[in-house]
Structure 1
Amino acid sequence: MLTAMVGAIAVTPLQAQAASVDTSAWYVLVNRHSGKALDLYDFATDDGAPIVQWARNDGNQQQWQFVSSGDGYYRLKSRHSGKVLDVYEWSTAGGAEIVQWADLNAANQQFRLADSDGGHVRLINRNSGKALEVWEWGTGDGARISQWDDLGGANQQWQLVKMGGGGGGGGDGSGEWPSDTGSVHITETRDVGTFFDGGMKRYYGIGDGGQGESQDPMFVVDNGGTIQNVIIDAPAGDGIHCEGSCTIRNVWWNDVGEDAATFRSSSSSATYLVDGGGAKSASDKVFQHNGAGTLTIRNFQVHNAGKLYRACGNCSSSYQRHVVMDGVTARSTDVLAGINTNWGDTARFSRITVYGDDTTICEKYRGVPKGDEPEKIGEGADGVNCLYSSSDITWR
């Protein structure tokens, strides 16, 4: 952990007043001094992971829910991890680091809101009595969040930006669609190697925006790579190709062309993760699983699609494929997953929210050689291939 240093500028303290929040909503907290958002660093899920500031992108790692502890105190729960803000090791010292930790409803995890002018608030820790601040008035991405005496400085003031789709247990993929920070027109596939952060810019320009087969992808991600903070718009060709295990984090498709992403590794041990984000307007399917391995889709929302996921039923090579969906919200979507039971495919579902009553959760097919058409042979939970119970699905 980082060593505490002297790092606040004294200003006249402001009188604490009673601020209020909607405990069913999610908020992005924007610092008054830097204009950056309270952020869970590197999308961590472990206890002790640091809290920093980062350029606002409204991802789940920047969304927080106020959970009441009574007496005007709240815990701030991360939409990404489900953990809460915590003053590390119950410190009462100025400069102590703020991390995330499992929700114990402890005093070092509880904060009261004190009003500042201009619609901003300060967050005062119950255990230490100190205020949440950007350490040493930092303005850069990654500047750490700490605590200091409540001096009312701009680096201790936060704007609470309410997101849409509140409620639920967190990470249910029902937040607002993000706005882009700029546009990038690309005309040929970009191989991003093992890491690419798009800065929430909108990328477009490949293909015809339709369902024609064999269009070029917008991005290719190498084995073990990550692509994050990207908005993809039409024409988008064949979206993203993962050549091996990969992570697609906080990526949003305004309009899905041929497919949003295709997973292509031939290794049965390949693991793919789609973490956060969403997809709209996929007349056929969103995610195409041509290779082997396991795809996890979590904290994701899909609007107006044919299928969210399809395990290829007639590719040139046949593999056993698995999909795990957790925290997915679907609107105007025909099918969540289509799998091939004769090849041993499985689909597991948890924390699924479906708007309307016309969505099929899991369709079963008989996979066939390339050139033939797979036959649908059933649908619904069976305890073998389509794995879910009624408690895993919320219908709205």
Structure 2
Amino acid sequence: MTTHPTRASRARRLRGALAGAAALVVAATGALLTAPAAQAASVDTSAWYVLVNRQSGKALDVLNWSTADGGQLIQYTRAGGANQQFQFVSSGDGWYRVKSRHSGKVLDVWEWSTADGAEIRQWTDTGGDNQQFRLSDSEGGRVRLVSKLSTKVVQVKDRSTADAALIVQGTNTNAYNQQWELVKVGSGTTPPPTTPPPSTGAWPSPSSSQKVSSTIQVSGTRDAGYVRYYGISSGDQDESQPPIFQLADGAVLRNAIIGTGAGDGIHCTGTCTLENVWWEDVGEDAATLKGSSSSQVMTVTGGGARSASDKVFQHNGPGTFVIRNFQVSDFGKLYRSCGNCSKQYARTVRVENVTVTAPGKSLVGINSNLGDRATLSGVTIVGDSSRKIAICEEYKGVTSGEPTKIGSGPSAACGYSTSSITYR
């Protein structure tokens, strides 16, 4: 028999929801939809599956590798991690709990809602009706997940095809965003996904450690397999330290852990992507965008950084810097457009779905006099009840000397609203 929660227990669950933690991962995979899908009638309860949405081609994903009750479910480019792998645990009579391989928790209709748009999150397996789903066949072997509580189905919000779109429930219309292909892990032509090593909280533990004596050059894609790289420097804040990694234009680095003695972290010489990279002890900076093209884009997606006495991300070249699905704690500045580079540019930064844990000084610093523009959305700040962490600061950038601060808060250059910032 299922016991429905009281209003007080619902409130406790809401307070317990995790808004941050990190690690979102992405990966390029070319043969995702070619792998054979399981039929609803033949789901293997001993297997693990990646659930691929028909509308977007993206995978069901536990946001930021959360292991907490209340961790959100999103869709994301398939990366092969355990936070994108699920098992169907039978409840009998054709009902299943859908268990995350990473967290051990199950899909849960949040707050026992029966309304359209209610979020699907993860929660400790209690066997409640809000955690039970049956598989309803759709076209091409795909399935819909029908909630026992609400009779609604699991879908991608607003039919989005974007990474990090939320997973919610909606009235069953058999729309493409409600249809899921069950791709058994290791099946078909898609290589078996890499399962990350055991992690503590949302931070992955290293699979091994490698001391670095000279900068590692990366072109193309490098999956570091959760190796910890460390020791290229003494671990101080001296200027002009070498980076551990230098990425060529178009390079991708994923699943790397940067340990103590990180030097100047990672340098990007053009467009580059950092996927699920973790800085345990930021050195001079975590990563810097260099290069010379106004069209270049540096994307940091997933991962996290801590113990940065000054900047986490530095933007020296032109172009756009994107920071999404990231977590940062104990830091000076999350992002800074170079205030006194000898050659200056108009730069753009986008901060999306970032969790910030105090202490920290500021999230974004831009040179509005040079045409810099920032947009921020989905920011959660933890442990800053006095709201000392500045959200967006404007400076007068120079080519020599020191920049001067000229403003702070929402503006034409600092594009965000107070509703974009959540404190907890």
State the TM-score, normalized to the length of structure 2. 0.63
Q: Percent identity?
A: 41
1:351 and 1:369, CA in 2 relative to 1: closer, same or farther beyond 3 A? Answer: same
**Number of residue pairs the alignment of both structures matches:** 321
Q: 1:377 aligns with which of 399, 406, 417?
A: 406
1:346 equivalent to 2:346? Answer no
1:303 equivalent to 2:345? Answer no
1:91 equivalent to 2:138? Answer yes
SS in 1 for 2:220: strand
Deviation at 1:40, TM superposition (A): 7.1
Unpaired segments ≥5 residues, structure 1: 1-16, 79-85, 110-126, 145-160, 165-175
CA distance in 1, matches of 2:222, 2:251: 8
Q: 2:108 aligns with which of 61, 66, 82?
A: 66
Alignment of 1:193-342 (within 5 A): 193-331=219-357, 332-342=359-369
CA distance in 1, matches of 2:199, 2:54: 23
Q: Does the 8 Å contact 1:339/1:347 carry over to 2?
A: yes
1:45 and 1:94, CA in 2 relative to 1: closer, same or farther beyond 3 A? Answer: closer
Q: Does the 8 Å contact 2:326/2:353 carry over to 1?
A: yes
SS in 2 for 1:54: coil
1:104 and 1:162, CA in 2 relative to 1: closer, same or farther beyond 3 A? Answer: farther
Task: Report the equivalent of 1:190.
Answer: 216
1:47 equivalent to 2:56? Answer yes
SS in 2 for 1:333: coil
Deviation at 1:223, TM superposition (A): 1.1
Task: Report the equivalent of 2:184.
Answer: 135
SS in 2 for 1:351: strand
CA distance in 1, matches of 2:58, 2:134: 11
Cα displacement string for residues 158-192 of structure 1 (whole angstroms, at most 9, x for unaligned residues): xxx9996xxxxxxxxxxx22222221222111111
SS in 1 for 2:226: strand
CA distance in 2, matches of 1:365, 1:315: 13
Deviation at 1:203, TM superposition (A): 1.2
1:205 and 1:311, CA in 2 relative to 1: closer, same or farther beyond 3 A? Answer: same
Which letter maps to 1:380?
G
The CA RMSD over aligned residues, in Å, is: 4.7
Deviation at 1:91, TM superposition (A): 2.5
The structure whose residues are more often strand, as a share, is 1
1:75 and 1:184, CA in 2 relative to 1: closer, same or farther beyond 3 A? Answer: same
1:136 and 1:257, CA in 2 relative to 1: closer, same or farther beyond 3 A? Answer: closer
Alignment of 1:7-22 (within 5 A): none
1:299 and 1:95, CA in 2 relative to 1: closer, same or farther beyond 3 A? Answer: closer
1:364 equivalent to 2:394? Answer yes
CA distance in 1, matches of 2:54, 2:223: 20
CA distance in 2, matches of 1:66, 1:193: 41
CA distance in 2, matches of 1:339, 1:40: 40
1:162 and 1:305, CA in 2 relative to 1: closer, same or farther beyond 3 A? Answer: closer
CA distance in 2, matches of 1:327, 1:107: 29
Q: Does the 8 Å contact 1:40/1:62 carry over to 2?
A: no
Q: Does the 8 Å contact 1:53/1:141 carry over to 2?
A: no
1:33 and 1:347, CA in 2 relative to 1: closer, same or farther beyond 3 A? Answer: same
SS in 1 for 2:248: strand
Deviation at 1:137, TM superposition (A): 7.5
CA distance in 1, matches of 2:329, 2:190: 32
Cα displacement string for residues 74-125 of structure 1 (whole angstroms, at most 9, x for unaligned residues): 98569xxxxxxx999942786879998445625599xxxxxxxxxxxxxxxx
Q: Does the 8 Å contact 2:282/2:305 carry over to 1?
A: yes
CA distance in 1, matches of 2:79, 2:312: 32
SS in 1 for 2:361: strand
SS in 2 for 1:234: coil
CA distance in 1, matches of 2:54, 2:388: 34
